[in-house]
Structure 1
C-alpha cells in the first residue's frame, strides 16, 4: 500500500507547473553545428561547461543557428550558399518547419528573431540582381511575410540591437551566384558596409570602410549590451597586406579598427572567423581557424592584449566569466584568464560558430 508520504509527494509533483522554454532541454547556454562520427551533421545544445545536452540531425552541413528567445526552438542554416533552413523543436529533436529560399534567392547562413519571438529575419541573396535581401518570416507558422533590401551586397551576419527595434547587418560586399558556387564575382568593386535598419526595413544608418579597405569584407557581428557593435572581417586583397580584421562601431560615430602587432597580424592570413565580447564587455576577441589563432583586445583602449594558439579554433562566444570557444577537433574551452582552459572534448568536429542562447529579459 502506498504510504501517505509517498502519496503526498506524488500529489505535489503532479501539481507542479510543467517545465517550459529552454529549461525543458536542460537550460543550454549555446548552440553549435557539427559533424559527428556517424557522418551526420547535427545541431547541438551545450551548457556552460561544454557538456552536450542534446543534438538533432540536419539535412546537410550547418553554419550558424538562431535561438528563439523563449521557446526551445532553433533555426539552423545551411552553409552558404544554401537554400534551406530547418526549424527544430529542441525537446523532441523533430523538425517543425523547413524554410526554403524563394526562387532566385539563397540564404547566407544567419538570421535572428524579433525580441518577442514573433518574427524571424534571415539574410538572403537576390543573386540575379546582385542585391542583399532580408527575408521576413512568421515565427509561429514560418510562412514568408515579405522582404526588404539589406542595404548592400552579400549580407552575411545580422543581429538584433538592444531595445529590439533595430537590426544591424554585415553587408560583406561580395557578389556570388549559385552557378559559380562560392566564387567571388566582384572583388574589384566590392563595397562592404554596416547597415542599421528598422524592423520594417527603413535605413537608419550606414557605415563604410575607407576606400583603401574596400576589399575588407564585413562578415560577422557581436553586440554588447550597451549597443557597441563588434565586426569581424575577411580580407580579399593582396596576401602581402595584413589590414585590421576587427572593428568596433557605435551608432552615430566612425568605426574604430583594431589590429595586432604586425608579427601576430600577418599570421591570420587576412581571415577572421568569429567574434565575441567577453561576459563583462571589457574584452573583444576574434578567431582564425586558418592559422589556429585567437586574438584578444581591450575594448576601452583598443589595444591588443594577447594571442593564443588553438588548433582549428573558430566558434567563439561570451561565457559566464569571459569567453568560450570551440574547435574543429571537438574542443569546448574557456578563456577567462591568461591561459585557455579545455573543458570538454566531444567526438565531433564543431563548425564555424558558437551561438549564445539569450534568456528572456
Structure 2
C-alpha cells in the first residue's frame, strides 16, 4: 500500500499535475532516524509525534545521522563515521536521488546541515593527510554537486548546525585526529584541542576552546535553541571523571559548563551520545548509550535537575512539551520535563541520532 502511494505521487509529480510535495506527502513525520532491521538490513525511518513509524526506506549500509531538507520531503542519510558516502532520499516516493561520495583523502563524520533556503548542504569531513577538518559545500539544485569547501576551524569536525534565522554554521571540532590506515584509532590524545567554530560564508567568525584541563574532552554533538544558543555534549578521552560533559555557549561569550555530582557524571561513562534543547530553551537534555542514562540540565543555573535510566539510549530530539528518545533496544520513548518516560518498542535497532524535521 505504502509503495503504491509513493509510486502514484511520483507519477503525478512527473506529469506536473500536483503542487510540489511537502513532508505531509511522506506521512508528516516529526523526526528521522537510521535503524537496523532484524534481518541485518539498514533503513532510514520517519517517526511521527505519536511514536509511529511513517516510512522505512532502505540504506546501503549502517547510518549515523541525517539532514532533513527545510522545504521538501528530502533527507540526506550519512554513513556511520568514518564513512565515505551519503544518500539523498526522496522520502515521499522512496526514490534515491543522489549519492554523495567523499573526495579522495577524505571521509565524512556522519553529520550535515542545510542552508536556510535549502539550496546548499554542508558536510563535516576529515582531510586525513593534512590532519585538518573541512566543510564540504554541495549545490542541491544541480543534484548535490560539490561546489566548494571550507576550513572547519579545527581538527575532527563532527556535528554541524545552522543558527536560526541566519546561515551562520556552528561546528563541533572534536579535536581528535584519525587516519583510515589505523581505523578509528585516535592519534593525538595528548595534544588534542577541541573547539566550537562559527562559520559564515566560509570564514570562521568566532572560535572558543575549553579550559586547558578539559582539552581531552572531545566536543562532539550540538543542539541549538530558538534564540541561537549552542549546547554541546562531550566525550572524555582522559583518565578519571571529567569536570563536566555538557556545556553551552553564545557567540562572543565564554563557555558555560554544566555542573553535576561526580556520581552523576560517572553515570554517563564519559560519553554523551546526543543532546537537545527544550522547546523554550530552558532545559538541556543529554543521553549516554554507554551509561544507559538520560540527564536534564537547567540552562540558566547550569546544574543537573533530573536523571533517568533507559537501556542503550542515544537519540534525543525536542517536542513542544518534552523530548523524544530512541534506543538500540528498539525503544521509542517520550520524556517529560521531569524525566518520566512513556515508551513503546519496535522491531528495529535505532542508530545514534534522532533528527527533528
TM-score, with length taken from structure 1: 0.92
Aligned counterpart, 1:176: 178
Aligned counterpart, 1:103: 104
Q: Find the aligned partners of 1:244 and 1:303 in 2 and give their Cα distance.
A: 10
Q: Find the aligned partners of 2:219 and 2:186 in 1 and give their Cα distance.
A: 14
Shift of 1:346: 0.9
Q: Is the 8 A contact 1:242 1:269 kept in 2?
A: no
Residue 24 of structure 1: SS of its match in structure 2? helix
Candidates 166, 177, 180, aligned match of 1:164: 166
Q: Is the 8 A contact 1:49 1:344 kept in 2?
A: no
Matched, 1:114 2:94: no
Shift of 1:38: 2.0
Map Cα deviations across residues 305-336 of structure 1 (whole Å, 9 max, x no partner): 01101100000010121111111111111111
Shift of 1:260: 1.7
Gaps of 5+ in 2: 1-16
Which protein has the larger Cα radius of gyration, Structure 1 or Structure 2?
A: 1
Residue 23 of structure 1: SS of its match in structure 2? helix
Aligned counterpart, 1:262: 262
Q: Find the aligned partners of 1:351 and 1:164 in 2 and give their Cα distance.
A: 29
Q: Is the 8 A contact 1:325 1:333 kept in 2?
A: yes
Say if 1:261 and 1:162 are closer, same or farther in 2 by CA, change over 3 A.
Answer: same
Map Cα deviations across residues 22-45 of structure 1 (whole Å, 9 max, x no partner): 010111100000111121111000
Q: Find the aligned partners of 1:48 and 1:178 in 2 and give their Cα distance.
A: 39
Aligned length: 340
Shift of 1:342: 2.7
Q: Find the aligned partners of 1:105 and 1:242 in 2 and give their Cα distance.
A: 31
Aligned counterpart, 2:82: 81
Q: Is the 8 A contact 1:73 1:90 kept in 2?
A: yes
Say if 1:17 and 1:104 are closer, same or farther in 2 by CA, change over 3 A.
Answer: closer
Q: Is the 8 A contact 2:196 2:207 kept in 1?
A: yes
Q: Find the aligned partners of 1:136 and 1:340 in 2 and give their Cα distance.
A: 41
Residue 179 of structure 1: SS of its match in structure 2? helix
Aligned counterpart, 2:45: 44
Moved more, 37-46 or 166-175: 37-46
Gaps of 5+ in 1: 1-15
Q: Find the aligned partners of 2:260 and 2:328 in 1 and give their Cα distance.
A: 24
Shift of 1:259: 2.6
Map Cα deviations across residues 228-277 of structure 1 (whole Å, 9 max, x no partner): 10000000001x22320100101111000003211211121211110001
Q: Find the aligned partners of 1:163 and 1:337 in 2 and give their Cα distance.
A: 27
Q: Find the aligned partners of 2:231 and 2:148 in 1 and give their Cα distance.
A: 28
Residue 160 of structure 2: SS of its match in structure 1? strand
Q: Find the aligned partners of 1:346 and 1:90 in 2 and give their Cα distance.
A: 20
Residue 212 of structure 1: SS of its match in structure 2? helix
Q: Find the aligned partners of 1:259 and 1:346 in 2 and give their Cα distance.
A: 35
Residue 265 of structure 2: SS of its match in structure 1? helix
How do 1:22-41 and structure 2 match up within 5 A?
Answer: 22-41=23-42
Residue 263 of structure 2: SS of its match in structure 1? helix
Aligned counterpart, 2:315: 315
Q: Find the aligned partners of 2:18 and 2:281 in 1 and give their Cα distance.
A: 36
Moved more, 33-42 or 188-197: 33-42
Q: Find the aligned partners of 1:266 and 1:341 in 2 and give their Cα distance.
A: 22
Residue 347 of structure 2: SS of its match in structure 1? coil
Q: Is the 8 A contact 1:45 1:54 kept in 2?
A: yes
Q: Find the aligned partners of 1:190 and 1:19 in 2 and give their Cα distance.
A: 47
Q: Is the 8 A contact 1:235 1:243 kept in 2?
A: no
Q: Find the aligned partners of 1:82 and 1:41 in 2 and give their Cα distance.
A: 15
Q: CA RMSD in A?
A: 1.2
Shift of 1:120: 0.5
Moved more, 159-168 or 347-356: 159-168
